[in-house]
Amino acid sequence: MAKKIVTRTYKASIQNRSQVADDLDALGFAASKLWNIGRWTSARIWDEIGHIPEHDELTSYLKSHERYDDLHSQSSQRVLQELAEAFRSWYGKRQNGDTRANPPGYRKRGDEHPRSTITFKNAGFKLDTKHDHVRLSKGDNTKDYWADFILCEYQTRPDVDLGDVTSVQQVRAVWTGHEWELHFVCKRELDVPDAPGEQTAGIDLGICTFATLAYEDETAELYPLDCLKEDGYYFGKRIARSDDSTSTRVERLHRKWSNRRTHYFHTLAKHIVDRCVEKGIGQIAIGDLEGVREDEAGEAKNWGPHGNLDLHGWAFDRFTNLLTYKAEMHGIAVEQVDERGTSRTCSCCGREDDSNRVERGLYVCDECDLVANADVNGAENIRKVPLNPADSSSGDRSNGWLAQPSVYQFDQTSGVFTPREQATP
């Protein structure tokens, strides 16, 4: 066992709800107002100078605004930070060709009393874990004559004791649609098992073969995740057939599609971690998606207008996060490595040449006559990145296995990944 510090969020209900609801409502409303002021200001700056302000610019711009003091200064700062993040994420999606992405909107103009999440950072809350009390600071404008804080009595799940955590970093008051609840963002020390071994596996993420693994024991596995593609066509067609893209039916289809995707990713990540445990892996090197976009832009088109819609960047990011989290629990470290050039470089002799990448999924090297599955060649290159060049495992390897990966498919009936009988590259 080894100790590891992780971040966890614990939800808690508020016991004295009726006593604090008005105060929380007032702060939630203030956070919405500040968001809208920030949103309006960002749009004005964009119109004038063609630049979306970063959160620190926005903060210095609005610090003296009278509404800024409706919340504790750290809470106000966090609202503007979230707004800037939302702008940046939208801008990034647009640049990646996601035309469906919308810029962050105003907070519920139709709603009389919108309740935004309020975040309290270290100077903005005081936690008493002995009595399950937390004091949440108000802003200068919202303090009244008898209290400058909101005293919440909270209750966490029975298996969670905030007294046990290393530190509570923030408290968030979140409106669920029915009531306010508290989210405690904590650092806590966990016992994680020792790594199952010392070997490294390389993972290449791609559009056609979603994940390709190269192991140190000279085996390789392909995970085509065809179910994603099938879902893409199925849901894409049904959504396109609908006249009204804002209807609840279309919304339901989007939600169902996204739930299924999430399920595949979870299952695949779990399966891969299980395989790595079996094979004594201590470290996974995974390609950073920047390179994927660049190298496989051509392949992406094969997915058609619906299939590839959400698979750029977003899916790889989410999958990498899931995998990292699940691997951590088994003591396996996941390292993201720059994969630029990994698809063009020969994993056997190291020669990098554009002409080396050939058709039908095969990589042929003119220098050393290697014939490999192109995805496996990429995954093997990624596997080698974090290794010390002097590491013995990078030399003296046979290369026949590079052309003979096992192919795993998701079986819809059993819900597990099973190896296909014969691998045809």
By CB under 5 A, name the binding residues for Zn ion: 346, 348-349, 351, 365, 367-368, 370
d(CA 339, CA 286): 8
Q: State which residue, 6 or 371, has the beta carbon closest to Zn ion.
A: 371
Q: State which residue, 274 or 369, has the beta carbon closest to Zn ion.
A: 369
* Strand 199-205 relative to strand 133-137, pairing: unpaired
CB 10, CB 183: distance < 8 Å:
yes
Secondary structure (3-state) at 390: coil
254 CB neighbour count, 10 Å cutoff: 15
Q: State which residue, 52 or 372, has the beta carbon closest to Zn ion.
A: 372
DSSP codes joined into one string, 91-117: HHHHHTT-TT------S-SSSSS----
Tell me the closest approach of the beta carbon of residue 366 to Zn ion, in angstroms. Answer: 8
d(CA 230, CA 257): 11
Q: State which residue, 134 or 346, has the beta carbon closest to Zn ion.
A: 346
Tell me the closest approach of the beta carbon of residue 358 to Zn ion, in angstroms. Answer: 13
Tell me the closest approach of the beta carbon of residue 219 to Zn ion, in angstroms. Answer: 20
Count of H helices and E strands in the chain?
A: 10, 16
Q: State which residue, 370 or 382, has the beta carbon closest to Zn ion.
A: 370
Residue 40's φ and ψ, nearest 5 degrees, are -65, -45
Q: State which residue, 294 or 353, has the beta carbon closest to Zn ion.
A: 353
Backbone conformation region of residue 347, classed left if phi is above 0, alpha if psi is from -120 to 50, else beta = alpha
As given in the structure block, the two tokens for residue 12 are 């808690």
